Amino acid sequence: MHAKWDWKRWWTGSVVGLLLGSGCLLLTAAEKEQSQLSSAQQTAVQDVQQRAEDLKAVNQSIWNYAEVGLQETKSSQLLIEKLEAEGFKVKSGVADMPTAFVASYGSGHPIIGILAEYDALPGLSQKTVPYRESLSEEGAGHACGHSGLGTAALGAALAVKEAIDKHQLKGTVRLYGTPAEETGLGKVYMLLDDQFRDLDICLHWHPANITNVHLGSSKALVSVKFTFTGLPSHASVSPESGVSALDAVELMNTGVNFMREHVKEDARMHYVIIDGGGQPNVVPAKATVWYYVRANAHEDLERYYHWVVDIAKGAALMTRTKLSIQVDTDNHELIPNTPLSELIHEKLTVIGPPEFSGEEKAFARRIQQPLIEKFGQTFPVAIDSRVHTLVESRTSSKGSTDVGDISWHIPTGGLRTTCFAAGNPGHSWQNVACIGSSIGEKGILYAAEALAATTVALMENPVLVKEAKADFDQRMKSRKYITLIPKGQKPPVKIR
């Protein structure tokens, strides 16, 4: 159970303290910390606790749906139904994405947004067991924990609604249903569609194997597909009549691999050939390679992207093929916000992390065993349940997120809570198992409580909002938002 506010425990302890302490109110250290939550924040936290079983059921449903990006029909609909049942006004299918939505409750400013994600990853189906066993051979799985991510965002929004009603708070809470985060799509196209235009603050979270507030940045990323078109022919009888699109792809990849020596160390280029022809005796008339290009700063990414495009054009010239380029999305690096990070960290600390049982720790130890056997890793703990110290990072994380684009327009802050075994690799079957287990459930509820308390605090204290905006303005002074997505382009209908 969480070490959180318990009115009965507090009242009993207070009475005993008054009787035994000659009129002095005796509180434990934990109870003193809890007193830092206002009445409205306590209401929000308690609402999450009261909804715990329903939120666990939502997580289990989305976990079982395991829908990949832009196909999260059941997952998004479930969240929408829960929100509408509580009186939220919901706009669905926003930004030309059927599984994107915006749900609002309350009135006036500040308008606080909470981000929800719910897409799974292909090929990572897994049962809730501490060893590798798929639910289905070709199925997807929540290897990034997004079943829990969407669930906690829902829980936080509903809890804030309860606080608004009970304490007559001024302000609006918005839950943003953002599809296809794994390919960096949803939030970017919702941003370009002005869905975040009047937002004052944006909050987000992510399941992790630690609990902390990441006061740092991420990598910028562009997702782009290069398609070459040539002429088919019999590869043995008449090869001179064919123009190989696959040759162009291979020459392009070779060029990019030589490019790697001359970019900054933070740069990343990864690719997969998603169409390389049908069979060996037919000269491939069409071939497509899908690239992710990354860098710590978007200005570097822009330069690398244009360099890769030049290499693709060179490959087309060498093979006499025709080239077409499709930019699916462009993610900017995350802009941190110190006041928001400090506020979120305070709420994580005050509420306190959940405790994990012996059975849960044993489950985590079994999860870790393959990593010990195959890679020689060591794990001091089964589950890291601490709230880690808030420290501003001088280096960017190696991952990318479409949250970054929102942070270029709106003061944005986020948290992570322990939902996985310590040391779990990202996008792994281990994460699928954990987020569907009681380990994940405890982290989900903790995240919902912290998000809800933070949102209510921002509504109660306009100074906090002003401080976050001032920090944002300072960090954005020398930055200009430029997107590599062609103007007016609609989001793709499907990713693969």
Q: Which residue has the higher pLDDT, 340 or 6?
A: 340
Residues 346 and 326 in one domain: no
**What DSSP state is assigned to residue 233?**
-
Place of tokens 């906090």: 464
**CATH number, domain at 463?**
3.40.630.10
* % of the chain with per-residue pLDDT over 90: 89
Question: Cβ-count burial of 364 within 10 angstroms (0-12 exposed, 13-18 middle, 19+ buried)?
Answer: buried
**pLDDT surpassing 90 at residue 162:** yes
| pLDDT for position 9 | 35
Q: For residues 444 and 435, what is the distance between their CA atoms, to the nearest angstrom?
A: 9
Q: Is the peptide bond before 110 cis (omega within 30 degrees of 0)?
A: yes
Residue 104: both structure tokens together: 């609002």
Give the chain's end-to-end CA distance (angstroms, integer). Answer: 42
Residue 474 CA, chain-centre distance (Å), reads 25
Q: For residues 314 and 310, what is the distance between their CA atoms, to the nearest angstrom?
A: 6
**pLDDT surpassing 60 at residue 434:** yes
Instruction: Give residue 248's pLDDT band: very low, low, confident or very high (50, 70, 90).
Output: very high
Model pLDDT for residues 320-357, shown as the tens digit of each residue: 999 999 999 999 999 999 999 999 999 999 999 999 99
Residues 315 and 339 in one domain: no
Kindly state whether residue 110 falls inside one of the protein's structural domains.
yes
| pLDDT for position 261 | 96
Kindly state whether residue 52 falls inside one of the protein's structural domains.
yes
Q: For residues 345 and 220, what is the distance between their CA atoms, to the nearest angstrom?
A: 25
Q: For residues 233 and 240, what is the distance between their CA atoms, to the nearest angstrom?
A: 8
Residue 472: both structure tokens together: 């944002």
Q: Which residue has the higher pLDDT, 395 or 473?
A: 473
Least Cα distance to 121 among 408, 343, 352, 426 occurs for 426
Least confident window among 17-31, 56-70, 140-154, 205-219: 17-31
Phi, psi of 426 (to 5 degrees): -65, 155
- DSSP letters for 167-179: HT--EEEEEEE--
CB-based contacts of 442: which residues, under 8 Å, 6+ apart?
2, 354, 356, 418, 419
Residues 186 and 59 in one domain: yes
| pLDDT for position 85 | 98
| pLDDT for position 480 | 95
Place of tokens 């829990």: 148
Overall average pLDDT of the 382-397 stretch: 92
CB atoms near residue 384 (< 10 Å): 21
Q: For residues 416 and 440, what is the distance between their CA atoms, to the nearest angstrom?
A: 12
CB atoms near residue 67 (< 10 Å): 21
Q: End of a domain among 280, 311, 330?
A: 330
Residues 241 and 311 in one domain: yes
Kindly state whether residue 210 falls inside one of the protein's structural domains.
yes
**pLDDT surpassing 80 at residue 236:** yes
| pLDDT for position 148 | 98
Model pLDDT for residues 249-308, shown as the tens digit of each residue: 999 999 999 999 999 999 999 999 999 999 999 999 999 999 999 999 999 999 999 999
Residues 195 and 285 in one domain: no
Q: For residues 142 and 151, what is the distance between their CA atoms, to the nearest angstrom?
A: 13
Bridge partner residues of 251 (DSSP): none
| pLDDT for position 393 | 87
**pLDDT surpassing 60 at residue 214:** yes
Q: Please say whether the beta carbons of 157 and 173 come within 8 A.
A: yes
Model pLDDT for residues 75-121, shown as the tens digit of each residue: 999 999 999 999 999 999 999 999 999 999 999 999 999 999 999 99
**pLDDT surpassing 80 at residue 4:** no
How long, in residues, is the chain? 496
Least Cα distance to 178 among 157, 150, 206 occurs for 150
Instruction: Give residue 33's pLDDT band: very low, low, confident or very high (50, 70, 90).
Output: very low
Kindly state whether residue 232 falls inside one of the protein's structural domains.
yes
Residues 415 and 441 in one domain: yes
Bridge partner residues of 208 (DSSP): 418
Residues 140 and 265 in one domain: no
Q: For residues 263 and 457, what is the distance between their CA atoms, to the nearest angstrom?
A: 44
Q: End of a domain among 274, 297, 330?
A: 330
CB atoms near residue 262 (< 10 Å): 8
Overall average pLDDT of the 61-66 stretch: 98
**pLDDT surpassing 80 at residue 443:** yes
Q: For residues 8 and 5, what is the distance between their CA atoms, to the nearest angstrom?
A: 9
Residue 138: both structure tokens together: 């070709």
Q: For residues 429 and 463, what is the distance between their CA atoms, to the nearest angstrom?
A: 43
Residues 400 and 252 in one domain: no
**CATH number, domain at 226?**
3.30.70.360
Overall average pLDDT of the 123-132 stretch: 96
CB atoms near residue 484 (< 10 Å): 19
| pLDDT for position 396 | 85
Domain span at residue 83 reads 39-218+333-477
Residues 123 and 90 in one domain: yes
Overall average pLDDT of the 472-481 stretch: 96
Kindly state whether residue 455 falls inside one of the protein's structural domains.
yes
Kindly state whether residue 177 falls inside one of the protein's structural domains.
yes
Residues 455 and 427 in one domain: yes
| pLDDT for position 409 | 98
**pLDDT surpassing 60 at residue 6:** no
Kindly state whether residue 282 falls inside one of the protein's structural domains.
yes
Bridge partner residues of 202 (DSSP): 113, 412
Residues 263 and 321 in one domain: yes
Judge if pTM exceeds 0.85.
Answer: yes
Q: Which helix (H) or strand (E) holds 257?
A: helix 245-259
Q: Which residue has the higher pLDDT, 235 or 138?
A: 235
Overall average pLDDT of the 207-223 stretch: 96
**What DSSP state is assigned to residue 202?**
E
Q: End of a domain among 310, 330, 350?
A: 330
Q: Please say whether the beta carbons of 145 and 116 come within 8 A.
A: no
State the total domains in the chain: 2
Residues 355 and 308 in one domain: no
Q: For residues 181 and 406, what is the distance between their CA atoms, to the nearest angstrom?
A: 13
Q: For residues 435 and 270, what is the distance between their CA atoms, to the nearest angstrom?
A: 28
The average confidence (pLDDT) of the chain is 93
Kindly state whether residue 7 falls inside one of the protein's structural domains.
no
- DSSP letters for 64-119: HH-PBTT--HHHHHHHHHHHHHTT-EEEESGGG-TT-EEEEEEESS-EEEEEE---
| pLDDT for position 3 | 42
Q: For residues 77 and 100, what is the distance between their CA atoms, to the nearest angstrom?
A: 10
Max CA distance (Å), the chain = 102
